[in-house]
Amino acid sequence: MLAFLGAMALVLVAGAPWVLPAAAGGTNLESPRDVEVYIVDDSFILKWNRGSESLSNVTFSVDYQMYLNVYDELKLRIRAEKGNNTSPWYEVDSFIPFHKAQIGPPEVHLEAEDKAIIINISPPGTKDGVMWAMDSSSFIYNLVIWKNSSPAEERTETVYPTDKIYKLSPETTYCLKVKARLRMQRKVGLYSPVYCINTTVENKLPPPENIQIDGNNQNYILKWDYKYENLTFQAQWLHAYLKKIPGKHADKWKQIPNCENVKTTQCVFPQSVFSRGIYFIRVQASNGNSTSLWSEEKKFDTEIQTIILPPVINLKPVNDSLRVYIGAPKESDNKSVDEDYPLIYEIIFWENTSNITNKIVEKKTDFTFRNLKPLTVYCVRARALIHYEKWNKSSGFSDTVCEKTKPGNTSKTLLIIAVICAVLLSIPVVVYVVKVVLRCVKYVFFPSSKPPSAVDEVRSFSLSTAGFFLKWKIYLISTEYICFLDFQKIIQTDLGIFFQVSVNEL
């Protein structure tokens, strides 16, 4: 603990004498008054007003109550001493050093390029300091930069401990100052001294610009723009979190496979190169003899860049509705299984025969289109969108799926009624037909000897002619049957001529 406290520097500053009306004698020294404590990083500064004593041979001593760390309360007291006389202790209100402490100026190292400046900031306080021991990676730095020639036009930026300032002019003197900030505690530090540096002569080869990364199935496509042709490029990546940790990370950049010495302004590499995380990517051009400087570092978050695959649609016709099931896309690799973005779906549906399409946006993956025309073919296709406007990412459209709706309820009932009626009406008809058929069958196969009772009249004729065959047709119409009588034979007998009548029934 003692060693710990030893790291703190205590600076005592005595203020101007404060003249009291002459004290009534006595050897009692006056204790210091108006003691104020300032803390900057690990330095404690005490300021006070001494009493009315003469300046000679007065010393002050400060006492502090032992404390464990900067987050515990600290009690200070101070008194004046002259020889054997001491003043009473003046006790400073207890305080928590961490709360009172002010963030001091950080240290800045600069390196100039033609259109950029590389900065390297060391956190405030000393390396073994205690005050900010737990905050070394928590500082946020605000940088103000201006051209030496026009100090009024200044630019403010928030920078990492290792960072670059871009968009500068070559061969110009730039000056800057940096202050550190702690976000949570809302502490704003003191500005560092002003550092000035000259940017270099413009490099022959400019750095690549406009780096873009897109995902495509199982690959990432890295693209950039470059003015000139016939150059080779290489691309590197860095873990984003390293930028927060102070120190040099120049050696931690790694080569992206398939992006070394490429002749085109793009390269394709598999998604497996980057596990889930946030990275920085930079590209450099080279023409064999010389290389350009590194491009601006592009932040790359694999979560945001991941491709969303189009969903799979299933349709099921139910009465006069169409039930839509939106399923997850077939995963091309295991990675996308874990991705549970809040997706919403844009669904486009239309009647197969018309050109008019309807578009709806739906959160659910199981819903129904109601009140559709029966026995009509409808088609549906959909795509997934990330439910966060700023990202503006969507999948491609799914395949179009078409289904015919079922016949409606009303026509069905009519159909049933019609069928029933038809059945009912046809029964007597059927019975009638069956009866007639049976009678004919009976007559043909089981003839009776009696003349049918339906024969009402038989006229008898006697004719003197002999051997003439007369055919008469006598129609006897009964109530039910129409019968045709054929006279076929004339039978001669003594008693006269009798006609044998054969009756044919129809």
Partner 1 sequence: MSTKADVTRKCLQPAYLVGLFITGILSLDCNVLNIHLSRVTWQNMRLLSGMSNSFPIECLRENKAFELPHEILSHIQPVKRDIKKAFYEISIQAFNIFSQYTFKSTWEEKHLKQIQIGLDKQLQYLEQCLEEEEKEDEDMKETEEDGTKHSGTMVPRLSHLELRRYFNRIYNFLKEKKYSHCAWEIVRVEIRRCFYLFLKSIVLLRRK
Residues that bind partner 1 (CB under 8 A): 69, 71-72, 96, 98-99, 133-138, 183-186, 239-241, 244-245, 275-278, 303, 340-342, 386-388, 391
Largest interatomic CA distance in the chain: 198
In terms of CB distance, is 69 or 200 closer to partner 1?
69
In terms of CB distance, is 98 or 378 closer to partner 1?
98
In terms of CB distance, is 390 or 471 closer to partner 1?
390
Estimate the share of the chain in helix, then strand, then coil, as percent rounded to the nearest 5: 15, 45, 45
451: Cβ contacts below 8 Å, ≥ 6 apart: 501, 503
In terms of CB distance, is 190 or 278 closer to partner 1?
278
In the complex, what is the shortest distance from the CB of residue 345 to partner 1, in angstroms, rounded to a whole number?
Answer: 16
In terms of CB distance, is 178 or 385 closer to partner 1?
385
In terms of CB distance, is 160 or 294 closer to partner 1?
160
In the complex, what is the shortest distance from the CB of residue 101 to partner 1, in angstroms, rounded to a whole number?
Answer: 13
Taking the C-alpha atoms of residue 383 and residue 310, their distance in angstroms, rounded to an integer, is 6
Q: Phi and psi dihedrals of 88, rounded to 5?
A: -65, 155
In the complex, what is the shortest distance from the CB of residue 268 to partner 1, in angstroms, rounded to a whole number?
Answer: 24
Cross-sheet strand order for the sheet of 219-225? 209-216, 219-225, 266-270
In the complex, what is the shortest distance from the CB of residue 306 to partner 1, in angstroms, rounded to a whole number?
Answer: 12
In terms of CB distance, is 99 or 109 closer to partner 1?
99
Looking at this protein, which amino acid is placed at residue 214?
D
How many C-beta neighbours within 10 Å does residue 83 have?
10
Residue 289's alpha-carbon distances to 124, 202, 262, 264, in angstroms, are: 42, 17, 16, 18
In the complex, what is the shortest distance from the CB of residue 141 to partner 1, in angstroms, rounded to a whole number?
Answer: 14
14: Cβ contacts below 8 Å, ≥ 6 apart: 48, 50, 60
What is the rounded (10 degree) CA torsion for 64, 66, 67, 73?
-40
In the complex, what is the shortest distance from the CB of residue 40 to partner 1, in angstroms, rounded to a whole number?
Answer: 19
In the complex, what is the shortest distance from the CB of residue 277 to partner 1, in angstroms, rounded to a whole number?
Answer: 4
In terms of CB distance, is 34 or 72 closer to partner 1?
72
Q: H/E/C letters for each residue in 116-136?
A: CEEEEEECCCCCCCCCCHHHC
In the complex, what is the shortest distance from the CB of residue 241 to partner 1, in angstroms, rounded to a whole number?
Answer: 3
Taking the C-alpha atoms of residue 128 and residue 194, their distance in angstroms, rounded to an integer, is 25
How does DSSP classify residue 272?
G
